[in-house]
Amino acid sequence: MMRTPLGQVRGLGAAKSGTEHFWLQRLTAVANLALSLVFVGVVIALSGSSHAGATALLGNPWIAILMLLFVLSATIHMKIGMQVIIEDYVHDDLLKLVALMANAFFAVVIGLAAAFALLKISFGV
Amino acid sequence: MDSPHAGSGRPLSPHLQIYRPMLSMMMSIVHRITGGALYVGTLLIVIWLVSAASGPSAFSTVQAIYGSILGQLVLFFYTWALVHHALGGVRHLIWDVGHGFGPERELLYRVCLFGGIGLTVLIWIVGYVLKGAAG
């Protein structure tokens, strides 16, 4: 019996994740609006600062928590955003796969490195 | 008809180079470009944070580079990219809830364009005044 691709999926319903990226991009955008104010404030406060001054401010629990939230929200936001750009402009299948993978790696490395640095400053050692 | 693409004679939809540049399309393009710049620029933030976590000598090296004229120039444009992209994001959020499609659309673009530049300059003035006050 011949089954078309449409026939194979008919009745299974939607994948239920179609708007996930759209929603996550808006969610993190709103979070970024508030958290980037904290980030800009911290950067201004630490412009030309000594190491002791920087670690004292970044090690403050409130500042550290807000900075960690900013890192989380911003890395999710930038990962999705770059994925959209790649999907729009990279048409070669293999190159697209490589670019999408590199994008995911970059976002994870940036997020983890920033989080590790902030935690190390907070916990001393 | 030797190629399915070039010789088919089928009409193609016009692309960017056909259109006269307009504020709306330029702002859309710049929103993407600033997003991409912020993406790459996260490296600067990570280098700064990791140097602070590494110790005084690494941190003072990075502070010196970021405090140099070239460093300040890069950070100035990074600030602008952040503010411009943030205001553009607010514009998108307004559109998402179904507002801002009337004549006020032009105003939204102008707020983003001039507000982005204005706020960036303001942030840097505040930064330098505070730094001056701290000695």
Which CATH number covers residue A28?
1.20.1300.10
* CA angle, residues A58, A82, A110, in degrees to nearest 5: 30
Percentage of chain B surpassing pLDDT 90? Answer: 76
Of residues A39, A107, A114, A66, the one with CA closest to residue B53 = A114
The distance of B53 to chain A (nearest Cα, Å) reads: 5
Q: Is residue A33 part of a domain?
A: yes
Q: Is the pLDDT of residue B60 over 50?
A: yes
Taking phi first (over 0 means left), then psi (-120 to 50 degrees means alpha), and beta for anything else, what does residue A16 get? left
Which residue among A51, A78, A82 sits closest to B59, beta carbon to beta carbon?
Answer: A51
Q: Which residues of A touch B (CB under 8 A)?
A: 26, 29-30, 32-33, 36, 40, 44-45, 47-52, 54-55, 58, 74-75, 78, 81-82, 85, 106, 110, 113-114, 116-118, 120-121
Domain range for A57 is 21-123
Chain B residue with Cα closest to A107: B39
Q: Is A12 within the bounds of a domain?
A: no
Query: Nearest by CB to B86, which of A36, A55, A110?
Result: A36
Q: Tell me, yes or no, whether A65 lies in a domain.
A: yes
Please, is A90 exposed, middle or buried when counting C-beta atoms within 10 Å of its C-beta (0-12, 13-18, 19+)? middle
**Whole-Å CA distances, A19 to A25, A87, B95, B114:** 10, 16, 17, 32
Query: Domain ranges in chain B?
Result: 22-134
pLDDT higher than 70, residue A21: yes
Instruction: Give contacts of A47 with chain B, Cβ < 8 Å.
Output: 67, 127, 131
Whole-prediction pTM: 0.87
**Alpha-carbon gap: B118 to the closest alpha carbon of chain A (Å):** 15
User: Chain B: which residues have CB within 8 Å of chain A?
Assistant: 32, 35-36, 38-39, 42-43, 45-46, 49-50, 52-53, 55-56, 59-60, 63, 67, 79, 82, 86, 89-90, 92-93, 96, 123, 126-127, 130-131
- Number of CB pairs, chain A paired with chain B, less than 8 A apart: 80
How wide is the angle at C-alpha B78 spanned by C-alphas B75 and B84, nearest 5°? 145
Which among B82, B49, B102, B133 has a CA at the least distance from the CA of A71?
Answer: B49
Under a CB-based contact definition with an 8 Å cutoff, are residues A73 and A31 in contact?
A: yes
Q: Is residue A71 part of a domain?
A: yes
CA distance A29 to B90: 8
Q: What is the pLDDT of residue A125?
A: 59
In chain A, the number of structural domains is 1
Lowest mean pLDDT, pick from A32-36, A111-115, B104-108:
B104-108
**Residue A14 forms part of a structural domain:** no
Amino acid (1-letter code) at residue B36: G
CATH code matching the domain that covers B22-134, chosen among 3.30.160.620, 2.130.10.10, 1.10.10.60, 1.20.1300.10: 1.20.1300.10
Out of A26, A33, A113, name the one closest to residue B96 (CB).
A26
Compute the distance between CA of residue B42 and CA of residue A76 in angstroms, rounded to an integer. 12
Q: Does any domain span residue A62?
A: yes
Taken in order B39, B35, B81, A34, the sign of the CA dihedral is: negative
> Which residue has tokens 């993407």?
B32
Residues 6+ away with beta carbon under 8 Å from B56: A50, A51, A52
Distance CA A80, CA A103 (A): 9
In this prediction, residue A118 has a pLDDT band, given cuts at 50, 70 and 90, of very high
Q: How far is A7 from chain B (nearest CA, A)?
A: 29
B11 pLDDT band (50/70/90 cuts)? confident
Amino acid at A95: L
pLDDT of residue B1 exceeding 50, the answer is no
